[in-house]
Chains A and B, each alone.
Chain A
Amino acid sequence: MSEPKPTDSDRVLIIPCSGIGKAFGSVGREAAYLVLEELRPNDTGTVCLSLLTMGDEESQQRVREQRTIAIDGCPKACARVNIEHAGAEPAAIFRVFDVFRAHKELRVQQVSDIGENGREMARILAEEVAVKVDELRGGKE
């Protein structure tokens, strides 16, 4: 007998920062999409960060009711701060920077094209996020 599919409200919300000014913002976004589309498509969802900034009620309610993972590209930590401002506390916070500190050979130059190094960094980060998603969902497939 197969496991029941998670309802929308069971999904863990992966929320990357916008990071349009920094290459690590693009890496974080890439990592988020890897989790959402490849690694854990049935267990995760997302919310536009700009909706939280705008104070959209429906989006704020979702982050309060569902578990969230913030992925931030720089110390300004927009994803974390905007989630907190919505009245929620992220279940986990990932910083692209920490992946770089563990893999400093992976230098990324451009925002619009993160290149092989950026994609590798995103994959490493995505796998860490996927492990956390499993942990939050209690190890369910």
Chain B
Amino acid sequence: MEAEYLHATVDKFVFKVKTGCWYSKAGLWVRLEHGLARVGISDYVQQSSGDVAFAEIASTGTKLEQEGYLGQIETIKVAIELLSPVSGTVQEVNEELETSPELINQDPYGQGWLALIALSDWEGERASLLEAEQYLAVMRSQAEEAAKRI
């Protein structure tokens, strides 16, 4: 039976990677739901960014390009620009984040989702994304690199 998450331990941190999603190298995940793509940030990105205070996501109807601007999260320490992992049109934005941005930290793969996107070129773009096992390796390298800088 497939486990829900893969894990990587780096330093005193453990990072979860949800199976069944695709990932950009920057750590945004994509999950297909009835032909639409729900996107969010990975556990590694939320842990390394800190407690989220604000989440500003492109509004409904916005046309996105892959690697184009999706939005920004501001934590108590940093502001991070988020680049969309897919092209398409924003159908829905997670309005809960307006009053409860901590959902991104508490449940990055679930209630902390950012946007629901109608895809415009999934077949063309899927190959450029990483499957969970591939992202685990990439993320682990990123985390190890970051740990060396301390």
Contact = CB atoms under 8 A, between A and B. Distances in A.
A75 B100 CA distance: 10
Q: Is the interface of A mostly helix, strand, loop or mixed?
A: loop
B128 to A, nearest CB: 34
A95 to B, nearest CB: 10
A75 B106 CA distance: 9
Measured as residues with beta carbon below 8 angstroms from the partner, the interface class of chain A is 10 to 19
A5 B56 CA distance: 50
Q: Is the interface of B mostly helix, strand, loop or mixed?
A: mixed
Contact of A107 (B76, B102, B106): B76
A100 B76 contact: yes
B53 A100 contact: yes
A2 B54 CA distance: 48
A109 interface: yes
Contacts of B51: 22, 24, 74-75, 97
Interface of B: 51, 53-54, 74, 76-77, 102, 105-106
What are the nearest 9 A-B pairs in CB distance?
Answer: A75-B102, A101-B53, A100-B53, A100-B76, A107-B77, A74-B51, A104-B53, A109-B77, A24-B76
